[in-house]
Amino acid sequence: DFFRHHLTKKDGTLPITRQMAAGGLAGLFQIVVTTPMELLKIQMQDAGRIAAQAKALGKTIQKTSASQIAMTLIKEKGIAGLYKGTGATALRDVSFSVIYFPLFATLNQFGPRKGEGSTDAAFWVSFLSGCAAGSIAAVSVNPMDVIKTRLQALKKAEGEMAFNGIGDCIK
């Protein structure tokens, strides 16, 4: 809403291109918070997978926690270590927001309002608009999510490919 407000024209209109820009800017600001959380989530998921593979080979791997992973990354690579895969995260999240927010706003215009004279949509209209917009945006950016996940996987099991950039993940 902040970006929508600032990108609205003087005549009160907000063309689709400006809606998309507002969504993209919101997604760009979001990645500052979400990238480290996504990175740690993927590390925790991978830790279980790698431990299971090691166990199948008769090896054992010490259990880890998100805070241990975060501290190790910070010690080895500084705060920047928590932002591995930021480009791919931005590609996914900005694209999602460019699709989601304008689509939600457009769909939310349809259907009944909360009351006579109200500009707010009825709850069910907003709910269905959010579900539809979120589903379409999520399906659209799924390939970018796979790329992000591949880049943020720090530890590799034996025989697993290592990816060095967005282009490398696509091959």
**What digits encode the pLDDT tens for the residues 98-131?**
999 999 999 999 989 998 888 899 999 999 999 9
The CA distance from 113 to 106, in Å, is 14
**What digits encode the pLDDT tens for the residues 14-50?**
999 999 999 999 999 999 988 999 889 888 888 888 8
- pTM for the predicted model, two decimal places: 0.77
Question: Per-residue pLDDT for 2 more than 90?
Answer: yes
Q: How confident is the model at residue 155 (pLDDT cuts 50, 70, 90)?
A: low
pLDDT at 140: 96
